[in-house]
Structure 1
Amino acid sequence: MTYQYTDLSTSDFVEGNAIEASGPFPKKAAITPPTKKRCTPAIAGVLAGFYTSQVKNLAVLGELELQETIDQKRIDTLKANNAHLKAIAQGYSSDVILQDWKRRLPADTKRAFSFLGFALKPGAQVINFRLGHEVAEAALSAKKGPTDYLSALLRTLGIVDLVFVLELASSDSEENHPLHLHGIARIPGTVSTQAIRDLLAPEQDLNSSPPIRGYRQRWSNKAIAVTELQTPGTWVSYSGKEFDFTARSLQSNPGYASRSATTTGRELYDSMRVWLRA
């Protein structure tokens, strides 16, 4: 802040009394509000974790309050935990912009919430699908793009509810194709891991006619892996770790979300946003 002063000369004194200096008085500095940060996928994972924890607590509270014998101590504890969760979440999100989903929310945040929302659905599982050379090359040359091609292939098995991100592995090995995907899916009980492998990553057989370059498994590097989801936020970050590199390499969007996944993502985001603002 800069102050300006007016010098007093001898003519400024009359009968021993000083005349007040005139000049601009320093105005109060304008307070600039701190710049808010956007809701990145990492922040989305943290906020969704707070929100889903309190939702689970509310479900337990509902059950406790319907029991014949009321466990008031546990009820009070859960209510206190929820209040604490909300206070922490509101403090964490105080400098985060939570924009309208339809018009302004960034694409990577929508993708993150599609992962996070779909992860809450019964039967949702983590998927890691490698691709045989033939499938990967067909996907890369597909007119509508690789994500559309692969999602259409999976629909032939009845896998229609899913969200995934393509990734190009940075490897000098030419044995297996670098294109693969990470995501979350609801896989029908009638669909086996082997059926998915036969479709996406058939076993390599260079002696067949014609030769099948397919996908060769080595050690724990399974062609098709379907596992239970433990930490949705961590999985979102891992799945998108090479998103920008892959997007530049493919010259297309490497992310895919079925309508069901997008809907659950938006429902989670909107509910969480209301909860934080309440």
Structure 2
Amino acid sequence: MKYQHTDLSTSDFVEENAIKASGPFPKKAAIPPPAKKRCTPAIAGGLAGFYTSHVKNLAVLGELELQETKDQARIDRLKANNEHLTAIAQDYASGVSLHDWKRRLSADTKRAFSFLGFSLQSDAQVINFRLGHEVAEAALSAKKGPTDYLSALLRTLGIVDLVFVLELASSDSEENHPLHLHGIARIPATVSTQAIRQLLAPEPDLGASPPTRGYRQRWSNKAIAVTELQTPGTWVSYSGKEFDFTAHRLQSNPGYASRSATNAGRELYETLRVWIS
């Protein structure tokens, strides 16, 4: 028998057979992109801040473009500023999931956008309403829950467009009831803070029949405070600071948004998604 001569050395032979035994080398595994963060209320506040600055610039640009003598240098600066704002917002949102509003957006983010969207209303104001003992106890025992009770009570004054969060403060003092609310509302010009106080937190009158414990003001701690809104994102964070604690204590959702506030929140959210896409 004749043996066929090959030019393979011993090491070549071993290597060739090792390759045949192991098959082709595996491809490098694809690295999945990092998971996106959910859009928290804090992120919502940041995005809304960028967007409102962008909108204000557009309003000023519109006025400047209508002037007979155009300030071109200022126009160019505002346009550059808006391009910069858009780029920052896009970068800020690049790692954030902006889900469909109706089906996948979390309840706390919807609440934040309802605050933020409603804050863009020209006549929206910050509200801090304390509650007298009688009103607070009636709200807490209401069949439909305290938020429905209080919103219905405010409707009797014509305050129908609002968003608020209840807070049940932890306090050792028994002088005033710990339940109060923070929010944003459109209050008719005909409704005074005194009328709101008479409804929600009247002065204590222990000599009345029956006696009323009401709400006693102390120094700067006003029963009813209505002020101008300065920083919507900060106000959202402050209003919801005790949300989980209050929800646990009440065993119910302490947040309320009128249909107008919810619609304003959804409109802002959808506009933001388009703007940064």
TM-score category of the 2 structures, normalised to the smaller one: over 0.9
Deviation per residue, 1:17-38 (Å, 9 max, x gap): 4332322524302211101111
* Structure 2 CA distance for aligned equivalents of residues 31 and 75 of structure 1: 45
1:238-257 equivalences in 2 (<5 Å)? 238-257=238-257
Residue 103 of structure 1: CA displacement? 1.3
Q: Could you tell me the TM-score, scaled by structure 2's length?
A: 0.93
CA distance in 1, matches of 2:63, 2:127: 33
The aligned residue for residue 167 of structure 1 is 167
Question: Quick one: distance in 1 between partners of 2:9 and 2:158?
Answer: 101
Q: Which runs of 5+ in 2 are unaligned?
A: 1-6
Q: Which has the higher helix share?
A: 2
Structure 1 residue 14 displacement after superposition: 5.5
Tell me which amino acid in the other structure corresponds to 2:204. Answer: Q
C-alpha distance after superposition, 1:145-201 (max 9, x if no partner)? 111110011011111111000010011111111110000001111111111000000
Match of 1:188, SS state, is: coil
Q: Which amino acid aligns with 1:139?
A: A
Give structure 1 stretches of 5+ with no counterpart.
1-12
**CA distance in structure 1 between the partners assigned to 2:123 and 2:26 by the alignment:** 65
Q: Which amino acid counterpart does residue 150 of structure 2 have in structure 1?
A: L
Report the alpha carbon displacement of residue 227 of structure 1 after superposing the two structures with TM.
0.6
In percent, how many aligned pairs have the same letter?
A: 83
**Residue number in structure 1 paired with 2:227:** 227
Q: Which has the larger radius of gyration?
A: 2
The aligned counterpart of 2:64 is 64
Count of residue correspondences: 265
Q: Summarize deviations over 1:50-90 as a string: whole Å, max 9, x none.
A: 01111111111111111111111111111100000011111
Q: In structure 2, what is the Cα distance between the partners aligned to 1:15 and 1:166?
A: 84
When normalised by structure 1's length, the TM-score is 0.92
How far apart are 1:206 and its partner, in Å? 2.1
Q: For residues 1-20 of structure 1, give each alpha carbon's deviation from its aligned partner in whole angstroms, at most 9, with x where no partner exists.
A: xxxxxxxxxxxx95454332
Structure 1 residue aligned with 2:43? 43
Distance 1:131 1:16 in 2: 93
Aligned residue type for 1:213: R
Partner of 2:267: 267
Q: Distance in 2 between matches of 1:130 and 1:35?
A: 42
Alpha-carbon RMSD: 1.3
Q: What one-letter code is carried by the residue in structure 1 that aligns with 2:193?
A: T
